[in-house]
Amino acid sequence: MTAINFKTEFAPAVENKTKWQTIRKPRKVPFKVGEKLQLYTGLRTKECRKLHDAICLSVEPIKITSDVLGAPEIFINGGEELGIIEAIKFIMADGFLLPNNHWSDGRKRPDLAKFTDFFKTNDGSPFEGHLIKWGVAFDKLMIGGYYQDDAGNRVEILEVQPKTQLLWAICTDKEDMNDTPKYSWDGKVLDAYKPKFGNLKWQVEP
Domains detected in the chain:
2-136 (2.30.130), 146-203 (no CATH)
> Is the omega angle on the peptide bond into residue 181 within 30 degrees of 0, that is, cis?
no
pLDDT tens, 138-158?
999 999 999 999 888 899 999
Say if CB 204 and CB 154 are below 8 A apart: yes
Beta bridge partners of 59: 132
| Other Cβ atoms within 10 Å of 184 Cβ, number | 16
Q: Running DSSP on this structure, what letter comes out for residue 176?
A: -
C-alpha to C-alpha distance for 42 and 49, rounded to whole angstroms = 6
Please say whether the beta carbons of 167 and 141 come within 8 A: yes
Rounded alpha-carbon distances, angstroms, from residue 174 to 34, 143, 170, 180, 184: 22, 20, 9, 10, 21
**Calpha distance 82→75 (Å, rounded):** 6
Q: Does the predicted TM-score (pTM) go above 0.95?
A: no
**pLDDT tens by residue, 35-94:** 999 999 999 999 999 999 999 999 999 999 999 888 999 999 999 999 999 999 999 999
Write down the pLDDT at residue 101: 77
Percent of the chain, pLDDT > 70?
Answer: 98
Q: What is the pLDDT of residue 178?
A: 63
